[in-house]
Amino acid sequence: MNLVEEMSLPNNLVVEIWDKSREIAADTTQVKLIVKIKVEMKEEYFSDPEHFDQVMKVFGPEIYYEYEKERTFVNKEDKEKVFNELSDAFKKDTLPYITKSNFPSRFALSKYRDIQNNLYKYRHLLSKEG
C-alpha cells in the first residue's frame, strides 16, 4: 500500500489517500483507493461524559474514518487513469462533507450510536474495568 497524497483540512484533520492496487494477471489490475482520516476523541463532542467513556473503552483515543473504492479487471495501462478518477470522485463527492467543522464530532457521535445499536458486539469491551 502506497501513500499517494496527504491533505490538511481546515477542521485540523489530515486526509491520507492510499493506493492499494494489485496485479490480477499479466495485463490486468485491481485498482483500489483507500482514504484514511484519524479523528481524536474529545470529551467536548459528547453531551454526557459517560458516552465519551464508552466510546473510549471501545475504540480508544483515536478512531479512523475509512473510505474505499475499487475497480477490478482494469487494463494495466489504464491503472493510473482509473485511480485518479476514483480519487477525483472522492474529492468531489465526499471531501466537502469531511471538511465541515462539525465532522469530527458527528463522526465520534456516530461511534457512540453504533455502540448503542450493537451492544452485543461491544459488551465484552464495555464490561472491562477501567
Determine the pLDDT at residue 3.
98
Q: How far apart are the first and last CA of the chain?
A: 36
pLDDT at 77: 96
Which residues make beta-bridge pairs with 71?
31
Query: Which residues are registered as beta bridge partners of 47?
Result: none
Q: Are strands 22-25 and 28-40 parallel, antiparallel or unpaired?
A: antiparallel
pLDDT score for 1? 93
The answer to whether 87 and 70 have CB atoms below 8 angstroms apart is no
| Whether pLDDT at 128 is above 80 | no
How sure is the predictor about 127, in pLDDT bands with cuts at 50, 70 and 90?
Answer: confident
- pLDDT tens, position by position, 36-83: 999 999 999 999 999 999 999 999 999 999 999 999 999 999 999 999
pLDDT at 126: 87
- Entry pTM: 0.88
Q: Which domain holds residue 86?
A: 2-126
pLDDT at site 129: 53
How far is 83 from 28, CA to CA, in rounded Å? 14
CA dist 93 and 82 (Å) reads 16
| Percentage of the chain modeled with pLDDT above 90 | 95
Number of domains in the chain: 1
